[in-house]
Structure 1
Amino acid sequence: MSTKIYDFSKPEDIEELTSLAFSEDENLQEDVDNSDESETEDHVETRSVDSEIDHDDMLNMIVDSTNLYIESIKAKFNRERNCRPTDLIEIRALFGLLYLAGVFRGGHRNLKDFWASDGLGIDLFKMAMSEKRFRFLLRCLRFDERSTREERREFDKLEAVRNLFSNFIENCEKHYHLGQNVTIDEMLPAYLGRCAFRQYIPSKPNKYGTIRLVIWYQNF
């Protein structure tokens, strides 16, 4: 293999080096463009896979469980319209409002503020449902059949959400495929409510909570 020595005092050598440099830049830009196109295709594929997940199956499970609980407390209400059953559309709206409340830092606001009529409220909340209905659905929201919960609690600490959780895991295994850049870590979100597997770890910033294993994945 021969090596050419360029003389910068000769115009023809300078011209040849310049043409080689521009040629390498064009090849490099072409590689970058191809890489961007492949990444874009990967992102499009990811979004299309995510859209195939059957969310309605899990939501219908929530609708059925919630309606069973509404039916069990119907006798406590004087007006039937105050305890009418819910449906898939309304449950979707409920979760949408909960997401929207998070966007507006709802954890630091009074719930009434979202339905305020003094110009400070959020129109989407009032358009979706009344505050009274929102509170009722949150109170009645269930993820299992309450009548058999005590029996299942003897061998399953996740009895209240087991069916929904299993469905979620099944969807993840079916539609989410990991690459090579994966790591598993644990986190302790703060939680002071009643829970059979709540833990106390004094070395954590939030000392009380439930341990969760988290998968971090980055696609280069």
Structure 2
Amino acid sequence: MPPTNSCEVLTDEDSGDEDVVDVNNLPAAQLRAEAELFAHNSDNEWEDEDKIPLSELRKGLLSKRHYDEIKKKTYKWEKFDIKNARLETEWPNFVLPSNNLSPIQLFENFFEKEIIDMFVFYTNNYAASKNKRSDITPEEIKVFFGILLLSGYVSVPRRRMFWENSSDCHNNIVSNSMSRNRFEHILSNIHCCDNNNLDKNDRFAKVRPFFDKINSRFLDFAPIDEFHCVDEAMVPYFGRHGCKQFIRGKPLRYGYKLWVGASAIGYINWYEPYQGAKSEIKDCYKNLGLVPSVVLEYTDVLRSKLQLP
């Protein structure tokens, strides 16, 4: 056995030259320390579970986890020729709407009366529940949306600057259309659904009725196109929300991620917000994963538009 203190007062240093690596130069505290023995049992049977080394248990856990990951990602591929659907599909005759419309007419095509009335009803309902004025009209909702669209093109540090008297920020169109207090009253009460009947599994439940209706309007005026694309799109948002995403390397790194199905000319036919693990997937596509299910759901949307089987 080594001496109790071969290094005198310096018990953490070697007893010999540091350049010479020898077991006889190690201090007694290190030589007498407890060590773990790694042994392999061919039968993989131990007399007592408490005597199994941690390394063996860890190895078993890692192998099981690795096996589960491989098992989840295993797919059974079938080899067959893809039929050319373009040659077999008979396109129905569609009468597309004219595109020679004014900006107001284009706006009303998508924000139809049903959507405007939905916002009016639920906004007044929410304002009444908070003991506020509930006399918002459909015309005011249209003006409210118009100001929001204008603010996306005419950017100011604060939205209230549209109503200031300074010539460098005052906007006559906004100030003459609606007062500042009225705009902020609608902004603080705007709703499109009943808060008492929300789907707890849907993180976008408060705007889901609007998403469904606007997707339907997209399809009503969608041009017939042979080539389509499904990709993700970012809506910039820097506030707090459980679905806000951060994607490194993107021009818009913070915001909401949307799955968007569009035609070759850039027209949006359908979109679905990304909710992470809670993203809605049809039962028939759940075994395929998230990304394939998004593509297949978009094909279902196009088939319903074209009335294809």
The answer to whether the superposition gives a TM-score over 0.5 is yes
Contact kept? 1:63, 1:91, Cα under 8 Å: yes
Q: Is 1:131 the counterpart of 2:169 in the alignment? A: no
The aligned amino acid for 1:200 is F
2: CA distance, partners of 1:164 / 1:177:
22
Structure 1: gaps (5+ residues): 1-41, 78-82
Question: Which residue of the partner structure matches residue 184 of structure 1?
Answer: 230
Q: What secondary structure is seen at the aligned counterpart in 2 of 1:189?
A: strand
Shift of the alpha carbon at 1:216? 4.6
Aligned to 2:121, which of 59, 64, 70? 64
Instruction: Report Cα offsets for 1:116-173 as digits up to 9, x if no partner.
Output: 2244411112211111111111111111111223xx22x3222101111111122222
Aligned to 2:190, which of 141, 155, 169? 141
2: CA distance, partners of 1:89 / 1:72:
22
Following superposition of structure 1 onto structure 2, how do residues 1-220 of structure 1 map, counting pairs within 5 Å?
Answer: 45-47=98-100, 55-74=112-131, 83-106=133-156, 109-120=157-168, 121-149=170-198, 152-153=199-200, 155-214=201-260, 215-218=262-265
Total equivalences in the alignment: 166
Mean alpha-carbon deviation: is it higher for 184-193 or for 157-166?
184-193
Higher RCO (C-alpha 8 Å, min separation 6): 1
The aligned amino acid for 1:164 is F
Instruction: Report Cα offsets for 1:28-67 as digits up to 9, x if no partner.
Output: xxxxxxxxxxxxxx99734569665561111111111100
Contact kept? 1:200, 1:207, Cα under 8 Å: yes
The aligned amino acid for 1:45 is S
The aligned amino acid for 2:179 is S
1: CA distance, partners of 2:242 / 2:252:
18
Identity of aligned residues (%): 22
Question: Which residue of the partner structure matches residue 15 of structure 2?
Answer: none
1: CA distance, partners of 2:220 / 2:234:
27
Q: What secondary structure is seen at the aligned counterpart in 2 of 1:58?
A: helix
Contact kept? 2:96, 2:221, Cα under 8 Å: no
2: CA distance, partners of 1:110 / 1:209:
20
186 and 64 in structure 1: CA distance in 2 versus 1, 3 angstrom threshold? same
Contact kept? 2:236, 2:256, Cα under 8 Å: yes
Cα-Cα RMSD: 2.8
Dislocated runs of 4+, deviation >6 Å: none
91 and 185 in structure 1: CA distance in 2 versus 1, 3 angstrom threshold? same
47 and 180 in structure 1: CA distance in 2 versus 1, 3 angstrom threshold? farther
The aligned amino acid for 1:69 is Y
Contact kept? 2:96, 2:223, Cα under 8 Å: no
2: CA distance, partners of 1:140 / 1:58:
16
2: CA distance, partners of 1:133 / 1:111:
13
Contact kept? 1:181, 1:218, Cα under 8 Å: no
The aligned amino acid for 1:209 is G
Shift of the alpha carbon at 1:89? 0.3
1: CA distance, partners of 2:179 / 2:110:
30
195 and 178 in structure 1: CA distance in 2 versus 1, 3 angstrom threshold? farther
Structure 2: gaps (5+ residues): 1-94, 267-309
Query: When the two structures are superposed, what TM-score results if normalisation uses the length of structure 1?
Result: 0.64
Which is greater in Rg?
Answer: 2
